[in-house]
A and B are shown apart, each in its own frame.
Chain A
Amino acid sequence: MKLLALVVFCLAAQAQTVTFARQIAPLLYQHCASCHRPGQAAPFPLLTYEDARRHATQIARVTAQRYMPPWLPVPGYGDFAGPGRLSAAQIALFAEWLKDGTPLGDPAQLPRPPDFHGGWQLGPPDLVLQMRQPYHLTAQPGDVFRNFVLPVNLTATKYIRAMELETGNARVVHHANVIVDPSRLLRKRDGEDGQPGFPGMEVDTEVTGEFEPESHFLFWKPGTQVQETPDDMAWKLEPGSDLIVNLHMQPSGKPETIQAAVGLYFAKQPPTRFPMLLQLEHDGAIDIPPGAPRFTVTDRLKLPIAVEVLAVYPHAHYLGKRIEAWAELAGGKRLPLLRIDNWDINWQAVYTYRKPVALPAGTTLAMQVIYDNSAGNPRNPHTPPVRVRGGDRSTDEMGHVWFQVLPAGGATDYDPRLILQQAIMRRRIEKYPADFEAHFNLGAALQALGKPEEAIPFLSDAVRLEPANATARNNLAVSLAAASRIDDAARELHQALALDPGYQNARYNLARILGAQGDSAGELKELLLYLDAAPNDALAQDLAGRTLASLGRLAESIPHFRKAAELEPGVAGFEINLGAALAKSGDLKEAVAAFENALRADPANETARDNLARTRAMMDGRR
């Protein structure tokens, strides 16, 4: 009996031994191997028993401290896709394995290693944009934040469903943000210090007249699965834009070169669903006294429409300690969306909710960021601590929680993002009463929603805040014209053109206003100037044709109508105008051809049919 008891005891002990094959390999494959494999960001691979054994002490140590695998969100505050962080029981397995002498166990129990393939995760991209020259990163310690300009060599608008980054040097590139710069203004800074790119932790693109809100987090982090957006939610990339790749690099101890490339994957068709990024922040309230261990910044935004929250991206610099975001539902219920207790800029990431979080209209999104500006915070960039304010340098602070949301509900006759934009900008004006962008964007949103009377005060304020901003004056003019204040609109447009004579949108608008004022000659002059710069604008060519025709200059009108019809074949209206001009000037045969083209484009078009019949009759009459 004694012997039997001993055998049983031994078997039980055996069963509890942690082995590589049974417990450790599955954990490494799921949580570590995406980075810890050859050619990736991590300093050594963790794919084989030998790899793991050679680092067993280190693995036990860094998992116990939760330094590895890096995962910032606290469980229970948002349900995110991805491997997440290790449980306490999983961490204990690494310690046990080390204590047990790192046994391999039964090789038959080994799981299949994950199937990683080199190169682009999604296969060859449709478009690859690479840094023209490599950047040389010094060996000296200290993080480097730098921006590289990649011109987009496209000839037509594309819709992007996925973006990958190939850094060319995975060990030193910690993460990247890609910014679309349609204005191409940032390229002026390229090479300003003699090296490719330009320094800076954050970049801002210029405000333009178009409502094209940011819709996707163009964020890249080594070792993560590339996020593919469904085709119907792809993001737009216009020819002539620049991509700005903002890289966070950490020197390795030896000189390194980086020549990153962005791979873009096109969607098959334009999107039909349009997400939008909502930002909670109050950087203007960041003014942290030296030594303050717990400085708090908050922000809130009441949602005017129902949305689904798809993902969240928190951001602070080195003093940020704790970041929390939540939703306050009607009735006071609080829904946690994110909590990070030990913020670490080095491991910032976009977190995608496993299932979109549905929030009804009237919900308030809220966030709180706590900063530690004491000497006891080792990440404090200043010794001794100094007063720190909001700003975009790495020694300034920020506190942002971005949400990617998708407006819920069925089709509307307006873009629901404009309603969100209104709410965001109204909140922004509360926070920053003298903010130009907030006034401009709110005015532009109201204008786009067909509320010019409501837009005018905000656009007027934008002009007051930035009198030399031609875009603001142009937008104000559009609202004034829509509110039938034609003379005021003309005044703003003249001023916009005085500020920027090359501002073609304003010139076109001025032409329209002069036309509305009955000044056809003035209209024509501005239109022809506009067409010198933008000869491929079919609408403007057609308008020039009509203006010339109204002035009785039929022969001159025809080339403009013809150009419009060539530029956009299949637009019945252009063909009808061309046909009418031709018929009036006596070229009946060509006129018939034009009317026939119009009917081919739009068989139900009665004007085209009438004109065709009349012209044929005239031809018969001639015979």
Chain B
Amino acid sequence: MKACLAAMLFAATLLCAAPRPLVLIFTRTDCPISNRYAPEVKRLYAAYSNRVDFRLVYVEPGLTADRMERHQTEFGLAVPAVLDTDRKYTRMAGATITPEAAVFVDGELIYRGRIDDRNASYGIARAQPLHRDLDEVLAAVAAGKIPSPRFTRAIGCAIEPLK
């Protein structure tokens, strides 16, 4: 609040606006499970990016910006992305899997887990997901609601420790 008040003193209302909700989507270039979610990530970005900030978070150690951008181009992921070389985002969200999503509202983690429940386990995929968890959370957040924090289990590739 202090920062905002300070901004108000300079009459910059834009700077003063409450920070937008943020969704981090953890991914790695060589994870087939997160890659298969590219169409769904694109759909969510198209639906909610006017109200929610998106960041694709690439977690592979040693990944270069070039390789990351090439992956985004290949998969048509025109979504803002960061290289989490020091695992800052991973730690902040407590993410362990790709794909895994973390949603923050006012700096508070209100959701972490699967994008949807298409994958029931390794190699066991439903024809259609029963629950589109991230979509539901983003819809609520975009509508200005703050859902109570929720955590689900994501199925995918492990975020390997840095060494």
B80 contacts across to A, CB distance below 8 A? none
**A381-B127 Cα distance, complex, nearest whole Å:** 5
The distance from the CB of B89 to the nearest CB of chain A, in whole angstroms, is 18
**A53-B30 Cα distance, complex, nearest whole Å:** 14
**Does any Cβ of B come within 8 Å of A139's Cβ?**
yes
Q: Which of B18-26, B44-52, B106-114, B115-123 contacts A (4 or more CB under 8 A)?
A: B115-123
Q: Mark B122-134, 1 if CB is under 8 A from A, else 0.
A: 1111111010000
**Does any Cβ of A come within 8 Å of B60's Cβ?**
yes
Check if B126 sits within 8 Å of A54, measured CB to CB: no
The closest CB in chain A to the CB of B130 belongs to A383
**Does any Cβ of B come within 8 Å of A623's Cβ?**
no
Q: Mark A233-269, 1 if CB is under 8 A from B, else 0.
A: 0000000000000000011111000000000000000
Check if A252 sits within 8 Å of B32, measured CB to CB: yes
**Does any Cβ of B come within 8 Å of A516's Cβ?**
no
**A460-B122 Cα distance, complex, nearest whole Å:** 53
The closest CB in chain B to the CB of A140 belongs to B39
**Does any Cβ of B come within 8 Å of A141's Cβ?**
yes
The distance from the CB of B41 to the nearest CB of chain A, in whole angstroms, is 9
**Does any Cβ of B come within 8 Å of A120's Cβ?**
no
A346 contacts across to B, CB distance below 8 A? 123
Check if A43 sits within 8 Å of B158, measured CB to CB: no
Q: Which of A58-66, A110-118, A178-186, A215-223 contacts B (4 or more CB under 8 A)?
A: A58-66
The distance from the CB of A222 to the nearest CB of chain B, in whole angstroms, is 13
Q: A140-B39, A254-B35 are in contact. Are A44 and B30 (CB under 8 A)?
A: yes
- Report, as a range, how many residues of chain B touch the other chain: 20 to 34
The distance from the CB of B18 to the nearest CB of chain A, in whole angstroms, is 34
**Does any Cβ of A come within 8 Å of B160's Cβ?**
yes
A410 contacts across to B, CB distance below 8 A? none
**A112-B9 Cα distance, complex, nearest whole Å:** 70
Check if B160 sits within 8 Å of A142, measured CB to CB: no
Check if A378 sits within 8 Å of B39, measured CB to CB: no
The distance from the CB of A293 to the nearest CB of chain B, in whole angstroms, is 16
Tell me which of B30, B60, B61 contacts A43 (CB under 8 A): B30
**Does any Cβ of B come within 8 Å of A505's Cβ?**
no
Check if B38 sits within 8 Å of A139, measured CB to CB: yes
- B residues 146-163 near A (Cβ < 8 Å) are 157-161, 163
Q: A56-B160, A57-B161, A62-B122 are in contact. Are A253 and B61 (CB under 8 A)?
A: no
Query: Considering only CB atoms and an 8 Å cut-off, how many residues of chain A contact the other chain?
Result: 35
Q: A142-B127, A379-B126 are in contact. Are A58 and B35 (CB under 8 A)?
A: no
**A606-B68 Cα distance, complex, nearest whole Å:** 86
B158 contacts across to A, CB distance below 8 A? 55, 57-58, 61
B126 contacts across to A, CB distance below 8 A? 378-380, 383
Tell me which of A43, A53, A54, A57 contacts B32 (CB under 8 A): A43
**A142-B39 Cα distance, complex, nearest whole Å:** 12
The closest CB in chain A to the CB of B126 belongs to A378
B37 contacts across to A, CB distance below 8 A? 253
Check if A254 sits within 8 Å of B60, measured CB to CB: no
Tell me which of A253, A347, A383 contacts B35 (CB under 8 A): A253
**A476-B82 Cα distance, complex, nearest whole Å:** 74
The distance from the CB of A471 to the nearest CB of chain B, in whole angstroms, is 39
Q: A57-B158, A58-B157 are in contact. Are A43 and B122 (CB under 8 A)?
A: no
Check if B32 sits within 8 Å of A254, measured CB to CB: no
**A334-B15 Cα distance, complex, nearest whole Å:** 79
9 additional A-B pairs beyond A68-B122, A139-B76, A254-B74, beta carbons within 8 Å, are A55-B157, A57-B161, A102-B163, A141-B36, A252-B36, A253-B37, A254-B38, A379-B126, A383-B130
Give 20 pairs: A residue, B residue, CB < 8 Å, sorted on A: A43-B30, A43-B35, A44-B30, A53-B160, A57-B158, A57-B160, A58-B160, A70-B123, A102-B163, A141-B36, A253-B32, A253-B37, A254-B35, A254-B75, A254-B76, A378-B121, A378-B125, A381-B127, A383-B126, A383-B127
**Closest 4 A-B residue pairs measured CB to CB?**
A378-B120, A57-B158, A67-B122, A253-B38
